[in-house]
Amino acid sequence: MCQKGFVFVTLLCTVQSAIVVDVPMGEITGYRTRMGVVRVSPSSNAPIVEKGDYVTVHATGVVKETGSKFWSTKDKGQRAFTYQAGVGGVITGWDQGVMGARVGEIRKLDIPSSEGYGDNGFPAWGIPAGGSLEFTIEVLSIRGKEGDRAGL
């Protein structure tokens, strides 16, 4: 039973209710990008990202070499980002790293330059040539080709 006033108990109760899962980074078959689940979806029946779906996410990107954040949909003036999954509309590591995620899931992606912005980087965003990236991506909704699949 959770009670206020006891720091340890309150912390334990907070962690239990957040549905946080500490999963090590794993491989994505056929790719160099590594993926880990930060938070599982609160619903096992939530829709899954599949090729062709229109996916809306919150995303934060960091250059691994410098630790500098280059973009976040959660920053002031930004908003959630929508893209079409599996068709190359975003960098390869992101595209493949979100496939199979459920609405409500948060994933951490470790993307090598070859599956990010490559040898040229993206200097306008502070991504150096050959820079690797770390993204934290939360799937907010999915709208599939055959109709709306958004929400839980």
| pLDDT 10s digits, 2-60 | 444 433 333 333 333 344 445 578 999 999 999 999 999 998 888 999 999 999 999 99
Name every residue whose Cβ is closer than 8 Å to that of residue 34 and which is 6 or more positions away in sequence: 25, 26, 27, 28, 109, 110
What's the pTM value of the predicted model, to 2 decimals? Answer: 0.80
Q: Which helix (H) or strand (E) holds 38?
A: strand 34-39
Split at pLDDT 50, 70, 90, the class of 147 is very low
Copy the structure tokens of residue 28: 């994505």
Tell me the domain boundaries of the chain: 20-148
Tell me the CATH number for domain 20-148: 3.10.50.40
